[in-house]
Amino acid sequence: MKPVILDVDTGLDDACALLLAARHPELDLKAVTCAGGNVGLDDVVRNTLTVLDAAGRPDVPVARGAAVPLLQPVRMARHVHGADGLGDIDWPRSTRTTDRRHAVELLRDVLREAAATGELITLIPLAPLTNIALLLRTYPDAAAGLREIVFMGGAARIGNATASAEFNIWTDPEAAAIVLTAAGELGVPTTMYGLDVFYDVVVTLEQARGLSGSPSAELARKLIEKRSSLYQSDGASIGDGGAVCAVIDPSGLTTQPFPVRIELSGSWSRGRTIVDTRDWSADLTSDPHGLSPTKVQVATAVDGKRYAELWLATVS
Ligand code: BDR
Ligand code: CA
């Protein structure tokens, strides 16, 4: 089994990711940490516990993390995820409590243990990268417990929160810059599952209507129905869930190693992931910036049908 930790801002599509990670037989979900993002931290935590209850995984420790970005004011996406972040669907909310540790401490402890046992962990951040930046700067030794980071965020070509920037990176650009820099310095292999592939793993309403017979399947159906109605479409992307698919089945994702930087200023481009797709063997001496020292495996294509089937088979 592959040990994983999810860092989430649950969120309808984080919920799709949690159901998959909690139920897939080849994943060992060690912990889930929460950050403010799509909605406020209290809603994120309650939604996360609710989804894990539905998945039949009350054993997975869940910790509260950063409520707000490192520097800029909080921004949310209730217009995409509903007032409560879980689409305001009719579903019993969890009454379970969280781990007593802060998210950064839970991450530190689980990763140090992984480093000690050699069972290295794949970290899957699906939220603004605030918790992960704090972790890597406060406890850099914990990175020894990481096999890799596969994060949802950014894009080579498009934005969603703005014309330039993707929501998770735009919400906390400083954190994203810290994480990419620290991952480069600490030698942690990093994959960016960005908007270039995010929308391509689609579950149709017809497929979703076949989901029944367990709380997990029922919740999964409601999530797809809600996302479909929000987008006025006859199906919906599982969003963050695709990043978990990429960890389970990496050969369904095409990636290329590119130097990546985060835009921290810019009138119109703050929060953009600047993916350097140039021919680096050419003469770059006139470029005052040079190459970013951090190379990231950037997702450029995905087998959406295969990942959608993987998700459907697992959540039901
Ligand atoms: C990302 O932002 C959030 O709204 C989603 O949960 C996803 O992680 C997409 O830009
Ligand atoms: Ca998310």
Distance CA 260, CA 295 (A): 6
Distance CA 167, CA 159 (A): 8
Distance CA 211, CA 218 (A): 6
Give me the helix-helix angle, 215-230 and 41-54, nearest 10°. 130
Burial of 227 (0-12, 13-18, 19+ CB in 10 A): buried
User: What is the number of structural domains in the chain?
Assistant: 1
Which distant-in-sequence residues (6+ apart) come within 8 Å of 284 by Cβ? 278, 290, 291
| 79 — pLDDT class (breaks 50, 70, 90) | confident
**Residue 230 CA: distances (Å) to CA of 72, 81, 215, 289, 313:** 28, 9, 22, 41, 24
CA of 8 to the centre of ligand 1 (A): 10
- 293: pLDDT strictly greater than 90: no
- 77: pLDDT strictly greater than 90: no
Distance CA 181, CA 137 (A): 10
**Shortest-distance atom of ligand 1 to CA 9:** 6
Q: What is the pLDDT of residue 283?
A: 80
pTM of the predicted model, to two decimals? 0.97
Pocket of ligand 1 (CB under 6 A): 11, 13-14, 38, 77, 80, 126, 152, 160, 166-168, 239-240
CA of 278 to the centre of ligand 2 (A): 30
List the domain range (segments joined by +) for residue 287: 2-315
Tokens for 187? 């030698």
Q: Choose which residue among 12, 18, 38, 272 to substitute to test ligand 1 binding: the one with the highest number of ligand atoms within 8 A of its C-beta.
A: 38
- 126: CATH: 3.90.245.10
pLDDT > 70 in the chain, percent: 100
- 285: pLDDT strictly greater than 90: no
Q: Choose which residue among 164, 167, 197 to substitute to test ligand 1 binding: the one with the highest number of ligand atoms within 8 A of its C-beta.
A: 167
What are the pLDDT digits (tens) for 133-168?
Answer: 999 999 999 999 999 999 999 999 999 999 999 999
